[in-house]
Structures are given as C-alpha cells and as structure tokens.
Amino acid sequence: MRLRNLALLSAAIFLLNSSSAVNGQSTANQLTRAEEISGWQLLFDGKSADKFRNYKKETINDGWKIDDGALTRAAGGAGDIITKDKYKNFELSLEYKIAPEGNSGLMFHVDESEGAPWVTGPEIQVQDNAKGHDPQLSGWLYQMYQPGKEGDKILDATRPAGNWNQIYLKISPQSCEVCMNGVRYYSFRLGDKGWNDRLAKSKFAQMAKFGKLGEGHICLQDHGDQVAYRNIKIRKLNDDGSLPKAPVDGKLNVVAKPAFPNLKWEGYEPIDDNGNVAKQLRILELTYAKGVPHRLFAAAQNGVVYTLENKPEVEQASVVLDIREKVSKWWINGGTNEQGLLGLAMHPKFKENGQFFVCYTLLSDDRTVVSRFKTLKDNPLKADPASEEVIFEVAQPFKNHNGGAIEFGPDGFLYIAMGDGGFRNDPHANGENLESNLGKILRIDIDGAADGKKYRIPSDNPFLSVSGAKPEIFALGLRNPWRIAFDKATGKLWCGDVGQELWEEIDIIEKGGNYGWSSREGSKPFWNRNSNEKFPPKEPVWEYDHGVGKSITGGRVYRSSRVPQLNGKYLYADYVSGGVWALTYDQTAGKATRNEEITAGGIPVLAFGEDESGEVYYATDNGHAKCIFKFESQ
C-alpha cells in the first residue's frame, strides 16, 4: 500500500508539473474563431467546472480539482462526473493527460437509472498504453471496437503518460467515429448489425439500456488514478448529422457566372461518341504573363497547356504545349487523381525570353518533375516540346499528396509546393524532416546554375546552416498544399493545406516557418510524433473542421476593383462540400477576422486563377468546356 501511495504521489507531481503546451498549442480551453462560428462550445473553460456534477449528485466532489487550466482527478473519492446537460447527436473533442499506469474513461449517452454510468453509456478507454493494466487500450470502445493494424501491430497513436492526448468522438445516426490525436481509429453505427454482433459478445450484452438510449450525459470516469482533462469542446448536430448553423459570419451578395461561356478547348471533346462525359480536362492553373496583356494561360491535369484571349466572348483556347505522353494519367487508376500536370508558372520576363515552367508527375515512375519550356521564335504562343529542360526532380513514394503548384514570387524566385509523399499518417515522417524535400515549400533561382544543378539556391534560404537540411527548403510541415498564391498587393504567400481526418487549414507561408504536419493537423495535435523543437509550429491563419468540408482548395486574394465586396479578401473553397468562402485578414493584427459565404455548397472547385488586373477565377471539375467561372455582384 505504501508503494502504491508513493506511486500515486509521484504521478501527481509529474502530472501537475508537466508543460501545458501540446505541440505548439500555447493556449488551452479557448475556442478559435473558426470553432466559434461553426457551433463549437466549451464544456470547461479552465476556471470553473460548473457544467459538470457527480453521477447522481447535484454538485462535484472535492476530489476533482482545477489546476493549471485542467480538470484533474486529484484525490480519492472524486467519483465519476457527468455533464449537467444531455446530448443526442454531437461531436466532442477533449485532451487528457494520464498518470503512469493510470486508467480512466469517457462515456456517452449515460443516464442515472442504474448503479454505474457504464451500465448505460459506452466507454472510450483512457489509459497509459505503455504501463496500463487493462488489455483494452486508450481510444478503444470498451469490448466493442478497436483500431486496425498498422503492419503487424494494432494502431496506437497515443503519446506517453504525462503528455496530452486528444480524443475526438462523433455520435450521429449516419455515422459515429473515434479519432485519437487526429488519427481515425474506427467508425460505427449505434444499433446496426456490426454493433449488435459485438454487443452480444461483450459483458454488456445483458444490460438492457447499454448504448440504446439515443441521448444522455457525457461522463468522465474516476478509476482511482490520476488524470487531467482540458480543451473539452462540444458541438451539437442536427438529427441528420449536419451542422446546426453555417460556419460563416455572413453571406456576400455575390454570384459566380461562366467567365467564357462560348469557350472550346482545342482537341478536347467533352462528350464522346457514346455520350459519355470526358473528365480528363480538369484545369488546375489559370494565370497570365507579365507584359502580355489580355491573355490567359491554363494548365490541364492531363498534360496540356492552353492559351486564350481574356475576353468574355472568346471562343477558342489554343494548345501551347502537349506533353500528355509523359504525364501520369490520373483518370485511369483509382487513387491517382492527385497526379498529372499540376503546376504552371510564366517566367517574369516571359515576353522577352518565352520561358515558362510546369510541374508534373512522370508517367513512368511517379516522380515529380519541374521543367522549363520555351516558345517558338516565330510563334510566342506555341512551345516546342523538345525544348524541355528538366530543372528539378523529386521521387514520390506514393501516388497522392503531390502538391505541385508553382509560383514566381515578388523576389523573382520560383516557389514549389510539395506534398508529404502520400498515403496516410505521413508514414515516412517527411513533413517536418528537413532532410526531405517532401512536405515543404521550396524556393529556387532558375535564372542560373550552380553546384551541378540547373538552378541556384537563394543565399537567404532559411536552412542553409542546418546540418543535413535540403537547401531548397523555404518552409516545412505541410501535408498536401493544394494551391499556393502570392497576394499582388502585399507579397504574402497563401497556402491551402489539405488535412487528413479532421481539419483543413489556410497558412500564410513565411521564410523558415513550420506549419506542423505531421505532429499537428491545423492547430490540433496529430499522431504521436513530437514537433521539431528547433522550429516550433506556427498557427494557421484559418482552419475548418470536416463538418464543414474535407478537402480545401487554396485560392487567391481578390485585387480587382470590379467586385468591391471581394476586394482584399482571400477566396477559397472546399472540393468535397463545394463551399466557396471569402476570408478577411487583418494585416496589422496578423489574424483572420471574418469568414463570409459566397456559395454554401455543390461546387467542386479544383483551383483558382488570376489575371493581370487581380481578377480571380475558379475552375470546376465538371468535364465541360464551360469550367471557368468569375464572380459578379448581385
């Protein structure tokens, strides 16, 4: 008993003295602006536990203490606590810190008709996976569901005892799920065959109300061990699982209309002889060349670069370059729709030298290639495929997360957006690894050559003095940067980074910045990796959860005078939900202040483009020639 007491005392001291930060999160028990407007609420503010009480009691026992912003089971007799309110369909996010060998639990749909909460409420296990004594590990739905295997071991995304871990729980009629540190462990549906089969084999089979109430309290279990909870947030859902409110500050009186309603693309037939809609076009870049007025250049994912006059009545987009025989055919095999011709950038002196650059994945081996092409001397709108000069290459371990957007910055250097290499959970840990060019924004000088390369490294690239670091790296910690863009007015580099399970993010890329992947997803903890201590992660400018959308399409800052409502706002979209929004960023405060709706959903935006006047366009995945749109005031 004396040894047990000493162990508990040691655990308590360890817990209460541990850092309150979790992978760069400097504040706890607060809602981000994005969480506020999308319906999240705090169940615990770090100061008061007034939204909780003990099971079958009106108050909370003294064994629960608030210490350093955490609700802590600190002493014997604490007992299980429940929320004062009941919840039906909801999302819950919380962080826990468990003592060595400790055990606790999170239950939902609990009522007080039985002797203990677990008789009615299914329990997500909370424990020290390394030294805990229960075979049911942290994040498992007790005796019901557990994560699958990663290799020959059951997936374990937890961090060691004494560190903060995050649990996400979603309960809705359509789908329920549990994520541990941002990694999806399993999905289930209450009452379906899979649930009932598991229930019949568990110790809960004889408990008539177990998991069947459809509504109830949320419970934090006292299992006799030291445990602390914080960042306890909840969002109620509608009966169909949808959000109770649109995640916006308002709606702009703006609509989108076809920018070029009569446009046809040379060599492309949107409907084949059998009446099938072709999908191979997919415009991923729409840009202009300095000094070449009233003209746009477009890159199609199938490997064709086009040009067109920038006027509403234009009828033909002509082929500038066709390299389809080299480019990955994204439409043939499942899982490869992030491959192909992914980026196009016109040299700042294109009018004088006829140079432009493309980024594509190579058909033969999936590697990413950045190449220079030149237009013909007698036709500045036609390129010679044989003029290709491969500038830069990166091997790709998988077929997704290629990034691929390229942009010339105000400094004249070429910026290249690289994804982490693909699959799930960043299996090669590329994101924050400075020895890999994957998961990064790269910056190179293509107007010279040095050190056996067909480009130079800018002398102020931020990691030149870091041993082993790739010299091309400008910023790190990105998963799949799906489109980057410089603001014409401020020179800031904006990036939309596609998330995995829970969060999509928008970043303003700074030299030497670490944007957290894969120890974070957005501002939230991810997986069981620690962040790069020398380069702590930066907060995203904006993030939204997967109740709002599941695949961000990074956009551009609108700088045209044609639609005043949009001027200075960053326009972005979500490919899955089809929403389009306008984000207001306060340059002085360094934060986003408003997120306004342009379209609620239904528009699968692939990419945004821009012309020399600052007009912003977007391209959709519809397979038709009329796939480019621009905005109009209503």
Among 362, 375, 446, smallest CA distance to 404 is for: 362
State whether residue 177 is helix, strand or coil.
strand
CA dist list (Å): 308 to 82, 88, 305: 63, 54, 10
C-alpha torsion sign, points 220, 224, 230, 231: negative
C-alpha–C-alpha distance, residues 550 and 392, integer Å: 31
Cβ atoms 125, 256 nearer than 8 A = no
Q: Give the DSSP H/E element, type plus range, for residue 83.
A: strand 81-83
pLDDT at 150: 87
Largest CA distance in the chain: 91
Q: Measured in whole angstroms, how far is the alpha carbon of residue 518 from the centre of its chain? A: 11
Q: Look up the CATH number of domain 2-236.
A: 2.60.120.560
Q: What is the DSSP string of 468-510?
A: T--TTEEEE--S-EEEEEE-TTT--EEEEE--SSSEEEEEEE-
Let me know: does 171 contact 234? Beta carbons within 8 Å: no
Q: How many CB atoms lie within 10 A of CB 84?
A: 12
Distances from the Cα of 394 to the Cαs of 224, 336, 339, 464, 572, in angstroms?
53, 17, 14, 19, 28
Structure tokens at 633: 């005031």
| Gap between the Cα atoms of 99 and 14, Å rounded | 8
Residues sharing a CB contact under 8 Å with residue 129, sequence separation 6 or more, in sequence order: 137, 138, 156, 158
HSE-CB at 370 with a 13 A cutoff on CA atoms is 28
Dihedral angle, C-alpha 83, 88, 93, 98, nearest 10 ° = 50
End-to-end CA distance of the chain: 75
Per the listing, tokens 């568990």 go with 202
Determine if the peptide bond prior to 518 is cis (ω within 30°): yes
Q: Which of 268, 220, 228 is nearest to 79 (CA)?
A: 220
What is the three-class DSSP state of 194?
Answer: helix
Q: In the prediction, which pLDDT does 502 show?
A: 97
**CA proximity to 168, closest of 528, 497, 500, 502:** 502
CA–CA distance, 392 with 372 (Å, rounded to integer): 10
Contacts of 29 (CB under 8 A, 6+ apart): 42, 44, 45, 46, 47, 69, 230, 231, 232
User: What pLDDT does residue 9 have?
Assistant: 46
Residue 416 · residue 359 · CB < 8 Å: yes
Nearest partner of 600 among 354, 293, 256, 154, judged by Cα: 256
- The length of the chain in residues reads 634
Write phi, then psi, for 246 (nearest 5 degrees). Answer: -70, 140
* CB neighbour class for 311 (10 Å; exposed up to 12, middle 13-18, buried from 19): exposed
Task: Take residue 77 and report the two structure tokens written for it.
Answer: 């007799």
Break the chain down into helix, strand, coil percent, rounded to 5.
5, 40, 55
If DSSP codes are grouped into helix, strand and coil, which group holds residue 405? coil
CATH number of 250-281+325-633: 2.120.10.30
Give DSSP secondary structure letters for 250-285: EE-SEEEEESSTT-EETT--SB-TTSPBP----EEE
Rounded CA-CA distance 226/383 in Å is 68
Q: How far apart are CA 428 and CA 436, in angstroms?
A: 10
Q: Domain limits of the chain?
A: 2-236, 250-281+325-633
Angstrom distance (rounded) from CA 189 to CA 35: 26
pLDDT along the chain (634 residues), means of 10: 42 44 62 95 97 98 97 96 98 98 98 97 98 97 96 95 97 96 98 98 97 98 97 97 92 97 92 70 96 97 97 97 94 75 98 98 96 96 96 96 97 98 95 98 98 98 98 98 98 98 98 98 95 93 96 98 97 97 96 96 96 97 88 96
* 473-476 and 440-444 strand pairing: antiparallel
Beta bridge partners of 448: none
* Beta-carbon contacts of residue 245 (< 8 Å; ≥ 6 apart): 38, 39
Question: Half-sphere exposure of 87 toward its Cβ, with a 13 Å CA cutoff?
Answer: 25
The residues, ordered by sequence, that sit 6+ positions from 157 with a Cβ below 8 Å of its Cβ are 139, 180, 181, 182, 183, 185, 527, 528
Over the range 182-199, which residues count as b (16 or more CB within 10 Å of their CB) and which as e?
bbbbbebebeeeebeebb
Looking at residue 330, its pLDDT comes to 83
**How far, in Å, CA of 366 to CA of 355, rounded?**
25
How much is the pLDDT for 607?
98
CA 609 to centroid of chain Cα atoms: 21
pTM value is: 0.94
CA 89 to centroid of chain Cα atoms: 24
User: What is residue 597's three-state secondary structure?
Assistant: strand
361, two tokens: 């994945």
**What is the predicted pLDDT for the residue at 18?**
43
Cβ pair 478, 403 in contact under 8 A: yes
